[in-house]
Amino acid sequence: MRKRVAVLYGGRSGEHEISIRSAQAVMAALDPEKYVAVPIFIGKDGRWDPKPILPEPGANPGIDVVFPVLHGTFGEDGTVQGLLELAALPYVGAGVFSSSASMDKEQFKRICLSIGLPVVEWITLYRGAPGAALDASEAVRRFGFPLFVKPANLGSSVGISKAHDEAELKAALEEAAKYDSKIVVERAIAGHEIECAVLGNDAPEAATPCEILPSREFYDYDDKYLLDAARVELPAKLPAETIAEIRRIAVACFRAVDCSGMGRVDFLVEGATGKVYINEINTIPGFTSISMFPKMWEHAGLSFAQLVERLIELALERHAVRQSLRYER
């Protein structure tokens, strides 16, 4: 009996188009002898096509497992995961807590710091009323320029700017505030941009990391998806001990936020000191033709199709464990 895999894609976030491209690749990779793809598209207006998943156990008979390919807000932040938990459906990727904690850049940093994992220094600003001015003078005083300004809850570098002076900082704050009422302002790290893929549930493993060589000043949305000018080195050309440290920290980070299934941990390696910093974790990394999560596993010997199948297996394994638990006396 072939398993019916509901692929959720689209969504209300700024990463809508990337989600569509990722989902198309995932559905194309499903072995037709084992799986039936059940595409469920969520429009930018939040409407589901053909119909929403119902938040009741047993109410979705056409679905055996769900593969959320929803990047960013309303998909990678725990909201959809909560729905799938209510529906008692197995699903690929992180659970509710892990998704929400990983999505919020400030809370993610705090969790990492609590167990001694290295993160870039930052301050958090709150927008308050729409249009209210934001004061980042403390960040300037503590870190100097340049600074990175980021919406706390978004992905694919949407709303992120690098500010070199007061004028750019003002514009960066205004841009970030369009996307979130909480803004993270970070010290800029000059060095290497590294990505490391992690796969597994209770015994996660890290792939060999790669280095992103942006065509612009940093790896922004245009560089990721529009320009096709960034270069990638896989494996990253770093000392063996640095590679080993990145893989170790990637697994520790994955465990720290209680991740499961998959995660791509992004790092910055400071050129002047060689120090490794965690930048963020993506609990639903990209699956497009240029996405590095599947490419890193392909380098490790796992094809795109095998990776998709392994993620479905991990989802079913985790669901079986959760179903064995009692939720009442």
Query: Which residues have a catalytic role annotated?
Result: 15, 156, 225, 264, 266, 280, 282, 286
DSSP string, 208-246: PPEEEE-SSSS--HHHHHTS---EEESS--S-HHHHHHH
CA angle 62, 65, 66 (to 5 degrees): 100
Residues 6+ apart with CB under 8 A from 282: 76, 102, 155, 263, 264, 265, 266, 293
Taking Cα atoms as reference points, which of 116, 118, 175 lies closest to residue 151? 175
| DSSP string for residues in 143-160 | H-SSEEEEESS--TTTT-
Q: At what angle do helices 96-103 and 105-114 cross, to 10 degrees?
A: 100
Tokens 């390696």 locate to: 269
Q: Residues 6 or more apart from 317 whose CB is under 8 A from it?
A: 201
The CA distance from 322 to 202, in Å, is 13
* Contact criterion met (CB below 8 Å) for 188 and 172: no
Give which of 8, 31, 20, 7 is closest to 306, Cα–Cα: 31
Give the residue ranges of DSSP H helices in the chain.
16-29, 79-86, 96-103, 105-114, 137-143, 166-176, 221-225, 240-256, 292-299, 304-323
Q: Work out whether strand 191-200 and strand 210-213 pair parallel, antiparallel, or are unpaired.
A: antiparallel
Cβ(160)–Cβ(105) under 8 Å?
Answer: no
CA 208 – CA 233 distance, rounded (Å): 11
